[in-house]
Amino acid sequence: MDDDLPQPDDPCPGAAEALFSSEPLIVAARKLIESGRFSDARARLDLAPTKLAEELCEIISRIEVAYRTTPEQLLAKLESTIPNVTSEDLKRWTAAGEVQFREIDSQLLYFNREPANLFRFCAEAKRRRAGLLPNRKRNLHAHLRQIIEAAERSDDSLLVPVDHEVQYTITIAPSALGLKRGAPVRAWLPFPRELAQQTNVRLIDASPAGYQLSPPSSPQRAIYFETHVCDDAPTFNVTFSFRSFARYPRLDDQTAEQLPVGFPAGWLAERPPHIRFTSRALAAVREAIGDENNPLRKARRIYDSVVRNIAYAAEEEYCTLSGLSEKALQSRRGDCGVMTMLFITMCRIAGIPARWQSGFQTLPDEHDMHDWAEFYVAPFGWLPADLSYGYQPCDEPVDARIHDFYFGHLDSYRLVVNRDFGRQLSPRKSLLRSEPLDFQRGEIELADRNLYFPHWSWNMTPRTNFL
């Protein structure tokens, strides 16, 4: 059931090569991008139209897609939630770094997902916000208690199964660049993997005809389609079902064992640019674990360090980031994937094997893309760790079983698509992926170009039932 996931013979970096290449022209252009001189960077790259130069120009375009909101547009957004908000308020919050922005060719532009981060990091904006935020995970603790109660009655670590049926659709925008009648289109949509916590995977329906399923053991599993543009823009559909179990192993620090001799070294290794054993990462691990030698306690201390020190934030697309773990340490902010990659990096430095797992959370009142980790401690095997779920808030007296649930345990509402990052899709995608690291929304390409996310939309409709 894939407990021993094969390591890649030639692991992909999970990032565009242009983001970490040491080629002098590319390095110079990256410095121009960092200083906001996008036009100058493009002009420099046009002097040598190599594959790397074209790739970096594509990254520039993707950053520009993420930062299109003008001060006037953001202020208009804020007017509906903060009474009497002014441009001076926005200037003050910008100067304080409480709202995410870039200066691109001397123009101030805000992250399109703002004001999401403003309401996370600006106490004044949170205080002045009208209305209460909905508690979208209000039913989660009842589910966690159900898992814990089931664990008390059973010796099994896989509990409280939930049957899922999922319809997933990708629709290409008619205005997508290069979308001409007769043009070939290739599409990869997410598909569930076979593993111990996720069984009974079944394809119910798929269109257009002639699809191809990745092997069940694929580290990043997809259903693949080929078609041609007809009168309407192409749409791709898949419906599948699976059974998902909660994971609740019985963990005991006293029975934790050191890593067995001969354990695959790949799950302990650097994997630039996202897993790098930098001086900053090494210092973070020393601070987190001190002189602790017990592997389970070390992993718990690393989990605690990431959860307490990295604040959750809406994040840029990973394809525009040169290294997730180092980004987390530098900014002290990040989303589920950034937090997960830092945990994996710190675990590996500490001698604890760790790897990526991702797909979707499928809670009845909330479903979305999500990333988490697995780490290995003998004799328990691979254990889950969900960094962005973190410590669950509890009323007094605190129930430690709920509070600490997501270190070593996982709920039933998951769709697992990936057991690693940056792996080749099957069949192989020839052009730079919209998301080189993760695989959740899908990938689309024409004969000569990748279609980036703004040119198509995705929709996921899960239906879940307790058994």
What's the N-to-C CA distance of the chain in angstroms?
22
Confidence at residue 2, expressed as pLDDT on a 0 to 100 scale: 45
33: amino acid identity, one letter: I
Confidence at residue 134, expressed as pLDDT on a 0 to 100 scale: 58
Confidence at residue 197, expressed as pLDDT on a 0 to 100 scale: 96
Confidence at residue 177, expressed as pLDDT on a 0 to 100 scale: 74
Three-state secondary-structure class, residue 289: helix
d(CA 354, CA 357) in angstroms, rounded, equals 10
Domain 249-408 has CATH 1.10.8.350: no
d(CA 237, CA 207) in angstroms, rounded, equals 5
Contacts of 239 (CB under 8 A, 6+ apart): 165, 166, 167, 168, 203, 204, 205, 206
Provide the residue-wise pLDDT of the chain in tens; the chain has 467 residues: 345 555 555 557 899 999 999 999 999 999 999 999 999 999 999 998 899 999 999 999 999 999 999 999 999 999 999 989 999 999 999 999 999 999 999 999 999 999 999 999 999 999 999 875 555 555 799 999 999 999 999 999 999 999 999 999 999 998 887 788 888 999 999 999 999 999 999 999 999 999 999 999 899 999 999 999 887 889 999 999 999 999 999 999 999 999 999 999 999 999 999 999 999 999 999 999 999 999 999 999 999 999 999 999 999 999 999 999 999 999 999 999 999 999 999 999 999 999 999 999 999 878 999 999 999 999 999 999 999 999 999 877 889 999 999 999 999 999 999 999 999 999 999 899 999 999 999 999 998 899 999 999 999 999 998 65
* Structure tokens, 108: 């101030």
Confidence at residue 7, expressed as pLDDT on a 0 to 100 scale: 58
- Global pTM exceeds 0.75: yes
Domain boundaries, the chain: 249-408
One-character DSSP codes across 110-174: E-TTTTTTHHHH-HHHHHH--SPPP-TTTTHHHHHHHHHHHHHH-S-SEEEEEEEEEEEEEEE-T
DSSP state of 90: H
Q: Confirm if 194 and 213 have CB atoms less than 8 A apart.
A: no
Unique residue bearing structure tokens 């697995």: 374
Confidence at residue 1, expressed as pLDDT on a 0 to 100 scale: 35
